[in-house]
């Protein structure tokens, strides 16, 4: 699997022209959802190199990250003359880059694609690293492949189109990157003012965050070892996300990850000695920024069941990434059902 190129730019139109010219193609497709088609495509349109592009528009939000949407994209590619030599631009958040990457990876056994993430979550997480896929059978990212984009083009000017909830959602993944890297970066993230955003400073934090993920992915592109560090907060977070979808109260991915971090930092303290002061500092930031995901004791079994479906699991054990300190990573950790229930108790007692 080749190493994808990540390009940071403050002039997306000019940079995109260069990126497209570096990818020979017979036909160009642009995939976006309804939201990004309205707010973000105007920032790159009216360029000669996009004049003949075919646009494919799908529904917004994770509820459309489905087999039906994927099938629609495949059909549009086919009906509009796509070939093995076509090129696809995925313009949007993580749902678009995940689904679009999977569609491109499987159409005609694979066409070249470029990701242009327009949300903070997509910039620091979804669009980088080569994971593609869709939700299936009520489970997050159940079907997909590893296949990186040829290029990921990042322009933080797109972030000005976002509401605060979507900024917070992406920031949760950045907080995770801080926890698995250095105390200094973790502290910088906790001290950043999300209520009055300095976009120049945010761009610096985004670049740092992407660098952390790139370094890990380069070491382990297929998630057989250290790349599992990036799953911190996700075993429980995906369970929260799946429960929320099942109960028709969906939440943004980053919010679920933030709530998952609360649980998995407690499990880290319980199992491998993560410092209680750093756990409390991080949880306070999460509680103040993300609020709480409410659930009851009677839902523990359903959450546990969702965790048993996590893709990282082996030998019928639920697999966690835990920390004994900031940057001190322990992959392939397990917990009993009793310990998981204790963790969920802690979440409900601490978050209120």
> What percentage of residues in the chain have a pLDDT greater than 90?
84
Q: What is the pLDDT of residue 2?
A: 58
| Choice between 255 and 12, residue whose per-residue pLDDT is larger | 255
Indicate the residue among 103, 134, 161 that finishes a domain: 161
Residue 44 sits in a domain whose CATH number is: 3.40.50.1970
> pLDDT for 81-116, tens place per residue?
999 999 999 999 999 999 999 999 999 999 999 999
Looking at the fold, whether 316 and 195 belong to one and the same domain comes out as yes
Least confident of 6-15, 26-35, 253-262: 6-15
Looking at the fold, whether 193 and 118 belong to one and the same domain comes out as no
Q: How far apart are CA 77 and CA 29, in angstroms?
A: 8
Looking at the fold, whether 329 and 249 belong to one and the same domain comes out as yes
| Rounded mean pLDDT, 145-165 | 92
The domain in which residue 258 lies consists of 164-351
Q: What is the pLDDT of residue 122?
A: 94
Looking at the fold, whether 93 and 183 belong to one and the same domain comes out as no
Q: What is the pLDDT of residue 5?
A: 87
Q: What is the pLDDT of residue 13?
A: 87
Q: What is the pLDDT of residue 315?
A: 67
Residue 332 sits in a domain whose CATH number is: 1.20.1090.10
* Diameter over CA atoms, the chain: 61
Q: How far apart are CA 269 and CA 212, in angstroms?
A: 23
Question: Apex CA 190: angle with CA 184 and CA 196, to 5°?
Answer: 125
DSSP label at residue 161: G
Q: How far apart are CA 244 and CA 247, in angstroms?
A: 5
Indicate the residue among 125, 143, 161 that finishes a domain: 161
Under 8 Å between Cβ of 37 and 68: no
Q: What is the pLDDT of residue 48?
A: 85
Angle between the 276-290 and 164-179 helix axes, to the nearest 10 degrees? 170
> pLDDT for 44-56, tens place per residue?
888 888 889 999 9
| Rounded mean pLDDT, 254-272 | 98
Q: How far apart are CA 123 and CA 156, in angstroms?
A: 8
> With bands split at pLDDT 50, 70 and 90, how would you rate the model's confidence at 126?
confident
Give the count of domains, the chain.
2
Looking at the fold, whether 187 and 139 belong to one and the same domain comes out as no
Quote the pTM value.
0.90
Indicate the residue among 128, 161, 194 that finishes a domain: 161
Looking at the fold, whether 116 and 176 belong to one and the same domain comes out as no
> pLDDT for 13-72, tens place per residue?
889 999 999 999 999 999 999 999 999 999 888 888 888 999 999 999 889 999 999 999
Question: Apex CA 177: angle with CA 172 and CA 183, to 5°?
Answer: 110
Closest CA to 303 of 239, 235, 231, 238: 239
Q: Is 78 helix (H, G, I), strand (E, B) or coil?
A: helix
**Residue 50 CA from chain centroid, whole number:** 27
Looking at the fold, whether 188 and 301 belong to one and the same domain comes out as yes
Closest CA to 349 of 287, 303, 298: 287
**Residue 175 CA from chain centroid, whole number:** 13
Q: How far apart are CA 1 and CA 24, in angstroms?
A: 20
Looking at the fold, whether 155 and 188 belong to one and the same domain comes out as no
Question: Apex CA 281: angle with CA 277 and CA 287, to 5°?
Answer: 140
Looking at the fold, whether 122 and 213 belong to one and the same domain comes out as no
DSSP 197-251: --HHHHHHHHHHHHHHHHHHHHH-TTSSSGGGGGGTTHHHHHHHHHHHHHTT---
| pLDDT above 80: residue 159 | yes
At residue 194, φ and ψ (nearest 5 deg) are -75, -15
Looking at the fold, whether 132 and 197 belong to one and the same domain comes out as no
Q: What is the pLDDT of residue 123?
A: 94
At residue 121, φ and ψ (nearest 5 deg) are -60, -45
> pLDDT for 207-225, tens place per residue?
999 999 999 999 999 999 9
| Rounded mean pLDDT, 319-323 | 97
Query: What does pLDDT average to over the chain?
Result: 94
Looking at the fold, whether 254 and 133 belong to one and the same domain comes out as no
CA atoms within 13 A on the CB side of 91: 29
> With bands split at pLDDT 50, 70 and 90, how would you rate the model's confidence at 1?
low
Looking at the fold, whether 343 and 194 belong to one and the same domain comes out as yes
Q: What is the pLDDT of residue 51?
A: 87
Q: How far apart are CA 175 and CA 261, in angstroms?
A: 9
Q: What is the pLDDT of residue 228?
A: 95
**Which burial class, exposed, middle or buried, applies to 216 when counting CB atoms under 10 A from its CB (0-12, 13-18, 19+)?**
buried
Q: What is the pLDDT of residue 4?
A: 78
Q: 157 - beta bridge partners?
A: none
| pLDDT above 60: residue 172 | yes
């Amino acid at each position: 699997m080749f190493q994808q190129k990540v390009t940071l730019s403050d002039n997306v139109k000019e940079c995109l022209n260069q990126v497209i010219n570096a990818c020979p193609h017979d036909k160009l497709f642009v995939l976006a959802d309804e939201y990004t088609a309205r707010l973000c495509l105007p920032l790159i349109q009216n360029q000669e190199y996009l004049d003949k592009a075919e646009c494919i528009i799908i529904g917004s939000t994770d509820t459309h990250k489905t087999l039906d949407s994927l099938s629609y994209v495949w059909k549009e590619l086919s009906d509009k003359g796509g070939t093995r030599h076509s090129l696809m631009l995925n313009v949007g958040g993580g749902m678009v880059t995940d689904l679009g990457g999977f569609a491109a990876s499987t159409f005609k056994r694979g066409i070249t694609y470029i990701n242009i993430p327009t949300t903070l979550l997509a910039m620091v997480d979804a669009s980088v690293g080569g994971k593609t896929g869709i939700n299936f059978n009520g489970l997050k990212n159940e079907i997909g492949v590893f296949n990186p984009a040829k290029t990921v083009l990042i322009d933080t000017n797109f972030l000005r189109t976002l509401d605060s909830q979507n900024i917070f959602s992406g920031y949760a993944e950045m907080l995770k990157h801080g926890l698995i890297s250095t105390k200094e970066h973790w502290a910088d993230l906790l001290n950043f003012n999300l209520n009055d955003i300095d976009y120049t400073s945010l761009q610096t934090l985004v670049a740092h965050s992407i660098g952390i993920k790139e370094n890990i992915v380069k070491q382990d592109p297929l998630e057989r070892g250290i790349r599992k560090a990036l799953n911190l907060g996700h075993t429980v977070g995906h369970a929260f996300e799946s429960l929320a979808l099942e109960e028709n109260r969906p939440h943004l991915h980053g919010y679920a990850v933030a709530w998952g971090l609360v649980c998995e930092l407690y499990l880290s303290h319980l199992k491998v000695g993560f410092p209680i002061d750093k756990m409390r500092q991080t949880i306070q930031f999460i509680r103040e920024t993300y609020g709480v995901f409410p659930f009851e004791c009677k839902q523990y079994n359903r959450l546990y069941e969702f965790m048993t479906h996590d893709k990282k699991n082996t030998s019928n054990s639920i697999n966690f990434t835990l920390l004994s300190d900031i940057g001190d990573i322990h992959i392939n950790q397990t917990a009993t059902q009793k310990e998981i229930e204790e963790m969920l108790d802690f979440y409900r007692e601490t978050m209120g």
